[in-house]
Structure 1
Amino acid sequence: MTSIIFDLHSHHDRCGHAEGKIEDYIQAAIDRGLHYIGISDHSPYFYADEDQLHPGIAMAKSELNNYVKEVLSLKEKYQDKIHVLLGMESDYFPEYEALYKEKYKQYPFDYIIGSVHFVHGKSIFQRGRWDNLSKQERLEEKESYYRLIQQSAKSGMFQVLGHIDAMKGFLLDFHDEKTPIIDETLKVIADEGVAIEVNTSGKNKDCGGWYPSHEILERAYYYGVDISFGSDSHVPSRIGDDYKEVQETLRQIGFKEMVYFVNKKRHNVLL
């Protein structure tokens, strides 16, 4: 286990809300001395009748083949300079789990990041989504979010779970609603052998900082959850953002390693 620098979470213009081409992110990763760069754009909405249900959120269904071909081509082109990994950040919808599984098994993904972006049909990033809710209703909303994360961990679809407290992005009192469900969720994740990422993109939301919170990372350590890393870059300049700081924070908590995935096999990086 050598000192590897990796970033498993990056986007590009295909999703409709990121800047730059895949190659721009790869070149940025090379410039920053990364050994592995994962390309993990947002999954299409496979269940929709429309080819591109939300053009500003995720790629069209018809673009998936092109996406995979492009990543695999660039993997070969840059093989002497960096390891390019084929990933995807996948939404998790329990009612469409079988459909998504069927789609993903057709492609040679190195890993898939499972992210809950919608609870009760609303985006977790919707500003003010619980401004008019009572304290009890807020608690129920938060617990619904974590029950979906638990289901995603148990689905067998994912190697990494994305930004597991991202609902705090524009809900600054998210962590004020105390509930044992976060501990329950971390235990499920540990039992299922799925990793969570430290995602440094929270700095671009109102909450600032990283996902998940330091407190959740400490609890993750207690339960023995594997930790991966993703900048969640939507611009090439954020590739590898805060990687060293994340490593140092994890060391201070007590973690001895981080993990990344190649061909869905877990690899360790000593901290």
Structure 2
Amino acid sequence: MKFDYHTHHERCGHASGSVRDYIEAALNNGLHIIGISDHTPAFALEEDRPWPGGAMAKSEFPIYVNEVLQLKQDYAGRIEVLLGIEADFLPDSLDVYRSVIHSYPFDYVIGSVHDFAGIGLYNADHWTNLTSQGKLELKNLYYQYIAQSAKCGLYDILGHVDALNRYFPEYSDLRTEAADVTLKTIAASDVVIEINSSDNNWVPNEAFLERALYHGVKVTFGSDAHEPEQTGHDFEKVQSSLRDIGYREWATFRGRKRTMVELHAR
């Protein structure tokens, strides 16, 4: 079974293509399941679209949901289309997001840390200006946010865990016990992490996934596609790598219910 649970489309303001374009690309790439999981609007803010380059407008949200549900019917028998969403982990706004998300028939919810303690995930300049001790403290703080997101109970999947490894130089060289503490929390919270294959730079990396397996953390796959042709990117390579690490199953979702399926060898 070939699947992809993390895809975006043009409504978020930083991806190209329609929802239908991603479904058609998934068909062309031999996928059996395609999950549509664009960014949630800024539900906790008054403006309709305060982040035009980062997330859809609140007024677009029900239209998005209805479109995916209609396409789910239109493509039945050809490919399974799932309704997902990627929600930022914003600790002070969890009740607002929980209320909205629980009022729609999502198949799964991805929770992602894009900002933590006022620091952006892609802000490499901030990182570069820190001392070695400051970098270690920031890494520990990031892991604390990941652990909090796992415990909050809102998400089925944690998105691009350890993504700082992509953007912050020498991040992986900083050794910290916080990684294992966070993985234990994720396992205890019974939430899944994705292997995110975007940018030709998977996160988490193999070393992190070895520790995840040791602690009993479950995994799934998401390309984080922002262009239709990226859908399913590196699925087979990720599958093979997980087998080599020692994983033998991974997670699929429907109706907020998880099913573990065999992770086939190539």
Q: Aligning the two structures, in what range does the TM-score lie when normalised by the shorter sequence?
A: over 0.9
Deviation per CA, 1:124-174, whole angstroms, max 9, x where unpaired? 112322111111111111111111111110111011000111112221211
Select 1:43's aligned residue among 16, 40, 43.
40
Q: Which runs of 4+ in 1 moved over 2 A?
A: none
Partner in structure 2 of residue 179 of structure 1: 176
The answer to whether 1:64 aligns with 2:61 is yes
Match of 1:122 among 101, 107, 119: 119
Does 2:214 correspond to 1:222? yes
The alignment status of 1:165 with 2:162, answered yes or no, reads: yes
1:269 deviates by 2.2
Structure 1 CA distance for aligned equivalents of residues 224 and 107 of structure 2? 17
Alignment partner, residue 106 of structure 2: 109
Aligned match of 2:130: 133
**2:124, 2:43 → 1: CA distance?**
26
d(CA) in 2 for partners of 1:219 and 1:56?
Answer: 35
The code of the aligned residue for 1:175 comes to: S
1:156 aligns with 2:153: yes
Q: What CA distance in whole angstroms lies between the structure 2 residues aligned with 1:220 and 1:239?
A: 25
- Provide the rounded CA distance (Å) in 1 between the counterparts of 2:18 and 2:235: 22
Instruction: List runs of 5+ in structure 2 lacking aligned partners.
Output: none
What displacement does 1:251 show? 0.5
What is residue 238 of structure 1 aligned with on the other side? 230
Are 1:213 and 2:210 an aligned pair?
A: no
The DSSP-based 3-state class of the residue aligned with 1:87 is strand
| Aligned-partner SS, 1:128 | helix
How many equivalent residue pairs? 263
SS in structure 1 of the partner of residue 126 of structure 2: coil
CA distance in 2 between counterparts of 1:180 and 1:88 reads 31
Rounded Cα–Cα distance in structure 2 between residues aligned with 1:230 and 1:177: 26
Q: Cα offset for 1:44? A: 0.8
| 1:174-229 deviations in Å (ceiling 9; x for gaps) | 112211111111111011110000000142xxxxx200011000001101111100
**SS of the residue aligned with 1:216?**
helix
Q: Is the 1:128–1:170 Cα contact (8 Å) retained in structure 2?
A: no
**Counterpart residue type for residue 45 of structure 2:** A
Q: CA deviation at 1:118?
A: 0.1
In structure 2, the residue matched to 1:11 is 8
The percentage of aligned residue pairs carrying the same residue is 48
Contact 1:91–1:115, Cα closer than 8 Å, also in 2: yes
Q: Is the 8 A contact 1:143 1:181 kept in 2?
A: yes
Opposite residue 48 of structure 2, the aligned amino acid is D
In structure 1, the residue corresponding to 2:125 is in which secondary structure?
A: coil
Backbone CA RMSD of aligned residues: 0.9
Question: Using the alignment, how far apart are the partners of 2:151 and 2:73 within structure 1?
Answer: 33
Mapped pair 1:146 → 2:143? yes
- 1:193 to 2:178 alignment: no
Q: Which residue of 2 aligns with 1:258?
A: 250
**Long gaps (5+) in structure 1:** 204-208
Letter of the structure 2 residue corresponding to residue 247 of structure 1: Q
In the aligned structure 2, how far is the partner of 1:182 from the partner of 1:139? Answer: 12
C-alpha separation in 2, matches of 1:131 and 1:107: 41
Q: Provide the secondary structure at the position in 2 that maps to 1:129.
A: helix
Residue identity matched to 1:103: V
Please, what TM-score do these two structures have when normalized by structure 2?
0.97
Distance in 2 of aligned mates of 1:173 and 1:113: 27
| AA of the residue aligned to 1:113 | I
What pairs with 1:91-102 in structure 2 (closer than 5 Å)?
Answer: 91-102=88-99
